[in-house]
Structure 1
Amino acid sequence: MNVRGLRRWWVRLGQLAGLAVIGLLGLFDLRFGNFEGMSTAAVLLTLARIGLAAATVVVWLPLYRQGSRRLPVLALVVGGASLSVTLVLAAAHTQGSYLVGGSWGLAESAGLLAVVFVVVRRGEPRSATAAALVAGLAVAGLPLRAGTENAYVIFALIQALGAAGAAGAGLYLRTMATGRERAVALVRAEQRAEFARDLHDFIAHHVTGIVVQAQGARFVAEQDPQRVITALEQIERAGAETMSSMRRMVGILRNPEAAPDAPLAPLAGVADLAPLLEGFNGVARVPARLHVDGTLEGLPIEVSTSAYRVVMEGLTNARQHASDARAVDVFVRRTPQWLLVRVADDGSSSRAAPGRGHGFGLIGLTERIRALGGTITAGPGVTGGWVLDATLPLDRAVAR
């Protein structure tokens, strides 16, 4: 189960707990009511209170997208209806008519508090303010259905504080989520700029090679025709690789959802892994070892740079979170269709999963690898420690 699925599971568990609480409070409202001698109007108002409690569940139970326009409308309707019933009951009480059967509506109070929280957390900002205000007033006014004595006024103030607390909790979670979204968007924008620089460097490198080979072929055309054919084949391969990578990387730049994030750094690839590990061993107490299986020459530039960043992220995580590790092993294996990269340490495996915590390295790395058609996983190893695995396609036809 991924992080998003786990979060949704916890939300559903909290909702089930909320439903249980509202159900128990509803039974309390009915069980301890005084229904003797109630008029038809009183019975209808009692049923209306039970219906309003159920209506609040309909409002806060669904999982709304952020900025929902439908949620504030539903909250306004339910809050307005609750206020209307409160005004009717309060007016009847001042005229000496006892129309309240049971409590003033504890189940409805709990439901409206949940509505306030959800509408502040998920509602469209402008309409959510009015909806939360109406629902909050409805919560605060519920105890006045039973009378205006000091005890009921105190309960009204307590429920008003509860509504303010629910609104504050919703606003806090909303602010945290908005801040994280902005941070991720900023890092993604930085990554798009890095992709643009990578594209420029890559094209400049290959186009320069194509020009040099074409110039050389022109000079040796008469003396050695066979070398011209070889040069043309190399030009063809370089041109095809350039066009393929350019189309892929430009597609990433055009799609904001596919633009990953990573630290801004000069263009580096698998050829630079040995210096990277040497630099790591020079400052870290944990020795890093490089294991290469297969040739690493001729890799697509985006695959080479992404593999480098996988290793860089793995070493960074090992330095930060595995101070008790005795070694870090970097494995790079090339198959006919894939480049496999693994960074494994034998330290403690009690660290955050991908996408959790305050860092964005693994988030951006995951999106970068997926944009290329590969996969990446991070988690505890079978024999302990922590393992970062990435698979990168060498051929676009096998990219998933």
Structure 2
Amino acid sequence: MNDNVPFRQGRGRWAAVAAALMLAPAVISPSSAWLPAIMAAVTLAVAFLAWPTGRVSLAQAASGAALLSLAADAADFGQPGLVLLWYPFETVALLVVLGRVVRHVSSSRAAFVGALTGAAAVLLPLRFTLHAPQTGLKESVFAAAVTLFPAAVAMGIGLYLRSLDNRRSRAVSLARREQRLEVARDLHDFVAHEVTGIVVEAQAAQLDEGAPVQETRALLQRIEMAGLRALDSMDQMVTTLREADGRRWGEPPPTRLYGLADLPELVDRFSSMSAAEVALSLEDEVVGFLSREAEDTAYRVVLEALTNVRRHAPQAGRVEMFAGRTADGAVEIVVTDDAGSRAPAGSRQGGGTGLAGLGERVGALGGRLESGPHAAGWQVRCLLPAPGLRRAAVH
């Protein structure tokens, strides 16, 4: 069901009431009063109604009302005083239409339709001054000049609201882009990690066809657990996308944040699905020391490094991880393997953002991410400044 239906119906009722109120006095007035009454009713309806209505857009409705108003300015209404009864209402309605045109009509048409509607509002006093015996050209010019000011105000309000709409639209687009990037990062960091483990286990099973039943059962259990974790990660991302429309504007998407305290569990999962010996050195004082965003980034760096070991260095016999404080108070995370030199993981086509994307996140936090050959293997080193050091660098 369209949530705008009640709103549009309410606007339609108000437009009908306004039009009826404009036409009612014409019933007891001379026949020449029907034209200004009808013009006031039409412009009020255009000002009240929600557009588009059917196949008629706001630009078309505003242009039609403005052209009718300009044509009516040349008509003779008999008694000039009759014009003054409907003149204020039509003027206000034209100004409202002008503001709506400037705000909502596309840029390619807003200039023309806005100029036409503005001219109808500014020249509306001619309907009285051109036909009253006591007025002439001087009074007509003065009246049009006076009406020019409220027309300029209506245009200014329309432009201001249009700028707010554009700013909000850009903010929404940026928020949606950030959400898509967050989902892409989670897919790469978590789902790809588990899927890579499944692939490695399946490849190992093919090479060891005569494995005992107990080892095969344990292998299948590890594959099952990795698949369930990948499904859980995907379920969480789908839930994030489904709940996006229900959040308040500007509210960030709900995502799970990991940290250095989760590294032992990550190492256990990696060890259960890898033949490499894994050693983790995690200093107690670094857990909870960084901001939540920095901790999540550090966790993702380790996860990406382990995923790359599986993907690019399955022959690695030992992986060493260290997370601790440096002499200047920063936090250092190092992952080293002994599988020899290899091409950077970020160069693999279709491999996601990898370390290159994480390098941008680390850099945004004031840190540094490096990767390359080290001794007889490969090393990934991440340095994240302490909260106090980061504030000092900013200031």
- The TM-score normalised by the length of structure 2 is 0.50
Alignment correspondent of 1:46: 33
Name which one, 1 or 2, has greater alpha-carbon Rg: 2
Q: Closer, same or farther in 2 for the Cα pair 1:261/1:170, shift >3 Å?
A: closer
Question: CA–CA distance in 1 between the matches of 2:58 and 2:287?
Answer: 53
- Do the aligned partners of 1:59 and 1:75 also contact (CA within 8 Å) in 2? yes
- Do the aligned partners of 1:72 and 1:131 also contact (CA within 8 Å) in 2? yes
Please list every run of 5 or more consecutive structure 1 residues that lacks an aligned counterpart in the other structure.
Answer: 283-300, 302-400
- Do the aligned partners of 2:122 and 2:147 also contact (CA within 8 Å) in 1? yes
Q: What is the number of residues matched between the two proteins?
A: 256
Task: Please state how far the C-alpha of 1:83 moved relative to its aligned partner.
Answer: 0.6
Please list every run of 5 or more consecutive structure 2 residues that lacks an aligned counterpart in the other structure.
Answer: 264-284, 293-302, 304-395
Task: Please state how far the C-alpha of 1:62 moved relative to its aligned partner.
Answer: 2.4
Matched, 1:130 2:112: yes
- The TM-score normalised by the length of structure 1 is 0.49
Secondary structure of 2:51's partner? coil
| Equivalent of residue 101 in structure 1, options 82, 102, 121 | 82
Alignment correspondent of 1:168: 156
Q: Closer, same or farther in 2 for the Cα pair 1:99/1:59, shift >3 Å?
A: same
- Do the aligned partners of 1:198 and 1:267 also contact (CA within 8 Å) in 2? no
Alignment correspondent of 2:96: 114
Question: CA–CA distance in 2 between the matches of 1:251 and 1:69?
Answer: 39
- Do the aligned partners of 2:43 and 2:94 also contact (CA within 8 Å) in 1? yes
Matched, 1:155 2:137: no
| 1:195-234 alignment runs, 5 A limit | 195-214=183-202, 224-234=212-222
Task: Please state how far the C-alpha of 1:119 moved relative to its aligned partner.
Answer: 1.6
1:146-180 per-residue CA deviation (whole Å, 9 max, x = no partner) reads 22534453332222221121121111101111112
Paired residue type of 1:162: P
- Do the aligned partners of 2:83 and 2:128 also contact (CA within 8 Å) in 1? no
| 1:355-374 alignment runs, 5 A limit | none
Question: CA–CA distance in 2 between the matches of 1:81 and 1:251?
Answer: 53
Task: Please state how far the C-alpha of 1:241 moved relative to its aligned partner.
Answer: 4.8
Deviates more, 1:146-155 or 1:105-114: 146-155
| Equivalent of residue 67 in structure 2, options 64, 80, 100 | 80
Task: Please state how far the C-alpha of 1:47 moved relative to its aligned partner.
Answer: 0.8
| Equivalent of residue 44 in structure 2, options 51, 57, 79 | 57
Q: Closer, same or farther in 2 for the Cα pair 1:223/1:133, shift >3 Å?
A: closer
Paired residue type of 1:136: G
Matched, 1:185 2:167: no
- Do the aligned partners of 2:62 and 2:117 also contact (CA within 8 Å) in 1? yes
Question: CA–CA distance in 2 between the matches of 1:250 and 1:186?
Answer: 19
> Which is bigger in relative contact order (C-alpha 8 A, separation at least 6)?
1
Question: CA–CA distance in 2 between the matches of 1:276 and 1:139?
Answer: 69
1:175-227 per-residue CA deviation (whole Å, 9 max, x = no partner) reads 11111211221232233223222211223321343245446667887574223
Question: CA–CA distance in 1 between the matches of 2:185 and 2:69?
Answer: 59
Secondary structure of 2:126's partner? helix
- Do the aligned partners of 2:44 and 2:89 also contact (CA within 8 Å) in 1? no
